[in-house]
């Protein structure tokens, strides 16, 4: 029972971890090798896609910009390049065209390594791509990038969780536990009363039986 009590908290933790893993920014150190535009059917509000360029009509079929890159190991990486606008997630990206122009320029510099800031997953089976939000030049493939923003966000969330947990615990100790104790004491008293009544009835029945048994003995 104690294990079952922790299942809701575990499920909530897993959901939060998946949510943060998708939407928090990540950075890849890669070389830009090219860009392209593909005509794709994207339903409005479809998951894993954002929106057309700000100021253009949102249709089911639209052009989506992509950035092709390569890791130091030679493994390829593909990013979509879409605006997020004022919606969620709050990256406030309005410059997907500028990001494409920057990527095209960097593709002409094969020795230049960059950090591509992005969010989302790359799932080849379902043609899901991370969305590149910005590109920044770095000194080389071995540069150390510390995710200060992610550390700050996760730290604030942990602090908020601790405050909520303490508030719930204090409320439980102040309001719920005393009521539960009174109910438990009442149930215990009632159980003891029933036990005493049963014991008295048993004693009385035993005495009656002994008297009856004594009258049935031969003289």
- Say what percent of the chain tops pLDDT 90: 53
Phi, psi of 44 (to 5 degrees): -65, 130
Domain boundary among 127, 145, 163: 145
- 40 and 68: one domain? yes
- Tens digits of per-residue pLDDT, 76-86? 999 999 999 88
The verdict on 42 and 62 lying in the same domain is: yes
The token pair that represents 69 in the structure block: 């890159």
DSSP 130: P
Domain count, the chain: 2
- Do 98 and 57 form a contact (C-beta atoms < 8 A)? no
Segment (H or E) for 91: none
Higher pLDDT, 6 or 210: 6
Residue 7: per-residue pLDDT: 85
The answer to whether the CB of 120 falls within 8 A of the CB of 132 is no
Asked if 122 and 77 count as a contact pair (C-beta separation under 8 A), the reply is: yes
Q: What is the pTM of this model?
A: 0.75
Q: Are 119 and 104 in contact (CB under 8 A)?
A: no
Residue 97: give the domain boundaries.
Answer: 26-145
Domain end call among 145, 164, 180: 145
CA distance 99 to 136: 10
Of residues 135, 152, 149, the one with CA closest to residue 29: 135
Residue 6 falls inside a structural domain: no
CATH code for position 135 = 2.40.50
């Amino acid at each position: 029972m104690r294990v079952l009590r922790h299942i809701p908290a575990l499920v909530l933790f897993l959901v939060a971890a998946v949510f943060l893993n998708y939407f928090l920014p990540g950075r890849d150190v890669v070389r830009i090798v090219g860009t392209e535009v593909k005509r794709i059917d994207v339903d409005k509000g479809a998951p894993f896609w954002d929106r057309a360029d700000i100021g253009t009509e949102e249709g089911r079929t639209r052009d989506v910009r992509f950035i092709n890159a390569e890791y130091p190991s030679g493994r390829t990486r593909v990013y979509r390049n879409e605006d997020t606008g004022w919606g969620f997630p709050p990256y406030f990206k309005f410059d997907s065209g500028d990001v494409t122009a920057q990527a095209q320029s960097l593709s002409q510099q094969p020795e230049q390594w960059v950090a591509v800031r992005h969010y989302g997953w790359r799932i080849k089976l379902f043609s899901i791509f991370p969305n590149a939000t910005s590109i920044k030049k770095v000194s080389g493939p071995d540069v150390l990038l510390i995710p200060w923003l992610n550390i700050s966000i996760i730290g604030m969330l942990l602090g908020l969780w601790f405050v909520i947990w303490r508030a719930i615990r204090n409320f439980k100790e102040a309001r719920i536990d005393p009521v539960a104790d009174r109910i438990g004491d009442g149930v215990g008293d009632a159980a003891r009363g029933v036990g005493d009544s049963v014991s008295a009835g048993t004693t009385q029945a035993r005495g009656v039986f002994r008297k009856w048994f004594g009258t049935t003995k031969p003289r």
